[in-house]
């Protein structure tokens, strides 16, 4: 299967071991690129930490990890403000962390501690971080897509130039409410960025088993919404598209749509990378996709042009690991919610 | 009802909307048919002209996305009122209502609240049949996080709409087209705190307690008049707010009368009429009950369209009288 922009579905064509798809870094400030790299590494290491802690049983609930998909959230968030309203689904950690959510509070939430992002009431699948623009990430597939449209409507009525963002996956496009939402957003002319992270899998099912085409963008185009399909593992491509689309949403008060092609390293849920719910993904596909790892690609490009040297990269990685470990330890020692919080949050009043 | 002014149930709802739209810039109304409001009787006439189509938003045929959008707008600081001209069509929007709005506050540790009002209209009779008739308030009263409001009186139609929109919580506000021509003299609006609103005794009596909400309260009240002629003084309690339920007034009344009949425009199984009976019987000594509690509900079948069947489908005051009398022969 080929995408309209030439990206093939499984990365099995035009890609050999020495053909690590290179990035074009021109027009980018050195420090900005390095910051983006470190942010992606920060998110990756957090996901690895969560995977390990889940495997060891410290985290009791399911975790949907986005390792391999970091470039999308990191690239898009570069153009977002903390006053924007971001909504997401079950695989949301990267969306929060890219906006600056505190890993300690994320860990605390995953551990069911009262200091967590949602005070221990949500776990990995129900996250909120309003001060960082995260208006809610919850796991009913496509459930938050219309919410983002409504938030965009509110922002337009309030005469703000903030926008709403709806992150969802390729499975969500099969839900009817997403099509209603695309039509409604276009008809109301509201500033919302729809981001479909197309990683080809909805739980255990490959997109070819679910849809007659692997192009998600066909649906946004059908609703006459400005659309870009990008290589979601190429942060430069993601940023270029995000910059253009977000500018349209912010300034013209119109919905825009990004389809970002990517691949997750882990299975649908929890820590195993070679297993999914029900069926195995192809190890060879995963291996090939890891060659297109967004972090490896940016690292290689930065090392190649001497924006970065190996020693400082290694040192930074060590520091990131240390920061994450101490955040975990801090969260681990926190207290659990009091029993009264079971009833305290049901109503506002 | 006193017929002193021209304020009827439908126009009272319209007054509620106008009050909110005038006073609160963050209120807007969204739903199907709002620019052609024959869908909703006289309850929204001319609001689009008066407040503009940016705030009175008629929508594509998309109950699910529109309700979700209303929830999202609430999370972003607005006070939206979502209108479903028929509750049956609202079933497309259950995810937004039950999974999202109802649970948002709890899931997010009380840091964010979906303060959206969802107006669901019961629009039945007239041979409309199974899919244009349902009264599903019991479903919503089952869900923690939702407030469920079902006004019977004309003043409640207006004031509980206002209280719902200002409550900050997701509210299912259910009105019934069969009440629209009821007339009442209205006092000026006073903003009520929805949290503090509960059942009201609208007719006192010592022999029997009738509990109901919405149009069923009309049936209960009519029945109480017939019973009164027979020498049975029924206390009629209008629930007003179905969830969260405040049972005190009902329990006290039944403790006094010893007899309970609930009247509900829904079906019996797992329904609101049964919930009231359970709540009361849990709350009082069985010694105080002079008879088994009873309920008047719909036959356990979808609404028919044939006039001959429709006539026997919906409960009447006479049905309530009959069941009430039976509590005296246990």
Q: Is B203 on the interface with A (CB under 8 A)?
A: no
Q: Which of A106, A115, A120, A147 to probe the B interface (max B CBs under 10 A)?
A: A147
Are the Cβ atoms of A345 and B68 closer than 8 angstroms? no
pLDDT tens digit sequence for B146-177: 999 999 999 999 999 999 999 999 999 999 99
Are the Cβ atoms of A140 and B62 closer than 8 angstroms? no
pLDDT over 60 at B5, yes or no: no
This model's pTM is above 0.90: yes
Sorting pLDDT into bands at 50, 70 and 90, what band is A275? Answer: low
Q: Do B150 and B240 sit in the same domain of this protein? A: no
pLDDT value of residue A264? 94
Q: Do B176 and B242 sit in the same domain of this protein? A: no
What stretches of A57-175 show up as alpha helix (H) in DSSP?
70-77, 93-97, 103-110, 145-157
Q: Using CB atoms, pick whichever of A87, A135, A344 lies closest to residue B110.
A: A344
The residue out of B195, B217, B237 marking a domain boundary is: B195
pLDDT value of residue B1? 43
Cα angle: A247, vertex A248, A252; to 5 degrees:
120
Q: ω before B244 within 30° of 0 (cis)?
A: yes
pLDDT tens digit sequence for A27-73: 678 899 999 999 999 999 999 999 999 999 999 999 999 999 999 99
pLDDT value of residue A6? 45
Q: Do B131 and B174 sit in the same domain of this protein? A: yes
Tell me, yes or no, whether B259 lies in a domain.
yes
Tell me, yes or no, whether B3 lies in a domain.
no
Are the Cβ atoms of A118 and B107 closer than 8 angstroms? yes
d(CA B145, CA B161): 18
Q: Do B111 and B24 sit in the same domain of this protein? A: yes
What are phi and psi for residue B266, nearest 5 degrees? -110, -170
The residue out of B162, B195, B228 marking a domain boundary is: B195
Higher pLDDT, B50 or A7: B50
Tell me, yes or no, whether B45 lies in a domain.
yes
Structural domain range at position B33: 9-195
What are phi and psi for residue B29, nearest 5 degrees? -125, 135
Tell me, yes or no, whether B234 lies in a domain.
yes
C-alpha dihedral over A32, A38, A43, A49, to 10 degrees?
-170
Contact indicator for A170, A196 with CB cutoff of 8 Å: yes
- Total count of domains within chain B: 2
Q: Is B110 on the interface with A (CB under 8 A)?
A: yes
pLDDT tens digit sequence for B107-154: 999 999 999 999 999 999 999 999 999 999 999 999 999 999 999 999
Mean pLDDT of chain B: 96
Chain B residues whose CB is inside 8 A of the A143 CB are 68, 95-96, 99-100
Tell me, yes or no, whether B55 lies in a domain.
yes
Q: Which domains does chain A have, with CATH numbers?
A: 30-334 (3.40.50.970)
ipTM: 0.96
Q: Do B239 and B208 sit in the same domain of this protein? A: yes
pLDDT value of residue A299? 95
The residue out of B138, B164, B195 marking a domain boundary is: B195
pLDDT value of residue A14? 33
pLDDT value of residue A278? 65
Mean pLDDT of B3-29: 90
Chain B residues whose CB is inside 8 A of the A181 CB are 62, 65, 68-69
Q: Do B227 and B189 sit in the same domain of this protein? A: no
Q: Is B145 on the interface with A (CB under 8 A)?
A: yes
Nearest residue in chain B measured CA to CA from A84? B76
Q: Do B191 and B268 sit in the same domain of this protein? A: no
Are the Cβ atoms of A164 and B76 closer than 8 angstroms? yes
Q: Do B180 and B221 sit in the same domain of this protein? A: no
Q: Do B191 and B204 sit in the same domain of this protein? A: no
The CATH code of the domain that includes B274 is 3.40.50.920
Q: Do B315 and B260 sit in the same domain of this protein? A: yes
Residues 6+ apart with CB under 8 A from A247: A79
pLDDT over 70 at A10, yes or no: no
pLDDT value of residue B7? 87
- Neighbouring CB atoms inside 10 A of B219's CB total 25
Q: Do B244 and B275 sit in the same domain of this protein? A: yes
Q: Do B158 and B246 sit in the same domain of this protein? A: no
Name which of A174, A108, A4 is nearest A333 in CA terms. A108
pLDDT over 60 at A20, yes or no: no
The CATH code of the domain that includes B95 is 3.40.50.970
A103-110 vs A310-332: helix crossing angle, rounded to 10: 40
Tell me, yes or no, whether B111 lies in a domain.
yes
pLDDT tens digit sequence for A143-172: 999 999 999 999 999 999 999 999 999 999
Mean pLDDT of A299-307: 93
Are the Cβ atoms of B71 and A126 closer than 8 angstroms? no
Please spell the DSSP secondary structure of A220-251, one letter per residue. Answer: HHHTT-EEEEEETT-HHHHHHHHHHHHHHHHH
Residues 6+ apart with CB under 8 A from A80: A86, A99, A133, A163, A165, A246
Name which of B317, B324, B269, B267 is nearest B294 in CA terms. B324
Tell me, yes or no, whether B177 lies in a domain.
yes
Tell me, yes or no, whether B38 lies in a domain.
yes
């Amino acid at each position: 299967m080929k995408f309209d922009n030439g990206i093939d579905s499984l990365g099995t064509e035009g890609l050999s071991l020495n053909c690590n798809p290179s990035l074009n870094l021109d027009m980018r400030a050195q420090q900005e690129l390095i910051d983006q790299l470190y942010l992606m590494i920060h998110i990756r290491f957090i996901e690895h930490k969560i995977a390990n802690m889940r495997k060891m049983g410290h985290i009791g609930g399911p975790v949907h990890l986005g390792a391999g998909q970091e470039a999308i959230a990191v690239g898009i968030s570069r153009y977002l403000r903390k006053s924007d309203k971001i909504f997401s689904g079950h695989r949301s950690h990267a969306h929060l962390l890219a906006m600056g959510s505190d890993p300690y509070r994320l860990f605390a939430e995953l551990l069911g501690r009262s200091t967590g992002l949602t005070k221990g009431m949500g776990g990995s699948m129900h996250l909120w971080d309003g001060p960082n623009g995260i208006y809610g990430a919850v796991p009913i597939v496509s459930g938050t897509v219309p919410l983002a449209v409504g938030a965009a409507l509110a922002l337009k009525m309030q005469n703000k130039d903030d926008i709403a963002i709806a992150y969802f996956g390729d499975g969500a496009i099969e839900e009817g409410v997403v099509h209603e939402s695309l039509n409604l957003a276009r008809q109301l002319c509201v500033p919302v960025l729809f981001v479909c992270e197309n990683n080809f899998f909805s739980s255990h099912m490959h997109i070819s088993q679910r849809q007659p085409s692997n192009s998600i963008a066909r649906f946004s185009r059908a609703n006459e919404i400005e659309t870009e399909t990008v290589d979601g593992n190429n942060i430069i491509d993601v940023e270029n598209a995000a910059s253009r689309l977000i500018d349209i949403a912010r300034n013209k008060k119109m919905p825009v749509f990004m389809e970002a092609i990517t691949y997750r390293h882990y299975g649908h849920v929890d820590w195993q990378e070679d297993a999914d719910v029900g069926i195995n993904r192809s190890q060879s596909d995963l291996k090939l996709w890891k060659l297109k790892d967004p972090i490896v690609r940016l690292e290689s490009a930065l090392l190649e042009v001497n924006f970065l040297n190996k020693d400082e990269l290694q040192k930074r990685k060590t520091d990131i690991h240390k920061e994450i470990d101490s955040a975990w330890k801090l969260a681990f020692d926190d207290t659990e919610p009091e029993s009264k919080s079971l009833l305290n949050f049901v109503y506002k009043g | 009802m006193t017929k002193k002014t021209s304020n009827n149930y439908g126009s009272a709802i319209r007054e509620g909307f106008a009050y909110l739209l005038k006073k609160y810039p963050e209120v807007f109304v969204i739903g199907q048919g709002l620019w052609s409001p024959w869908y909703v009787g006289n309850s929204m006439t001319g609001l689009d002209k008066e407040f503009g189509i940016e705030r009175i938003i008629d929508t594509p045929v998309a109950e699910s996305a529109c309700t979700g959008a209303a929830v999202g707008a609430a999370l972003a600081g607005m006070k939206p009122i979502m209108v479903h001209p028929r509750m049956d069509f609202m079933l497309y929007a259950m995810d937004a209502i039950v999974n999202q709005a109802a649970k948002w506050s709890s899931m997010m540790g009380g840091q964010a609240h979906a303060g959206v009002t969802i107006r669901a209209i019961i629009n039945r009779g007239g041979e409309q049949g199974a899919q244009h008739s349902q009264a599903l308030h019991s479903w919503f009263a089952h869900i923690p996080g939702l407030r469920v409001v079902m006004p019977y009186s004309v003043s409640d139609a207006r004031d509980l709409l206002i209280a719902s929109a200002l409550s900050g919580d997701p509210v299912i506000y259910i009105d019934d087209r069969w009440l629209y021509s009821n007339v009442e003299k209205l006092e000026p609006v006073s903003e009520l705190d929805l949290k503090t609103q509960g059942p009201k005794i609208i007719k006192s009596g010592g022999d029997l307690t009738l509990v109901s909400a919405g149009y069923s309260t009309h049936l209960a009240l009519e029945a109480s008049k017939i019973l009164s002629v027979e020498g049975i003084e029924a206390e009629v309690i209008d629930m007003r707010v179905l969830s969260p339920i405040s049972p005190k007034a009902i329990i006290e009344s039944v403790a006094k009368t010893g007899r309970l009949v609930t009247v509900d425009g829904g079906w019996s199984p797992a329904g609101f009429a049964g919930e009231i009976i359970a709540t009361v019987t849990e709350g009082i000594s069985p010694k105080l009950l002079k008879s088994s509690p009873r309920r008047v509900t719909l036959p356990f079948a979808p609404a028919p369209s044939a006039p001959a069947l429709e006539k026997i489908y919906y409960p009447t005051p006479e049905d309530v009288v009959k069941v009430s009398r039976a509590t005296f022969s246990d």
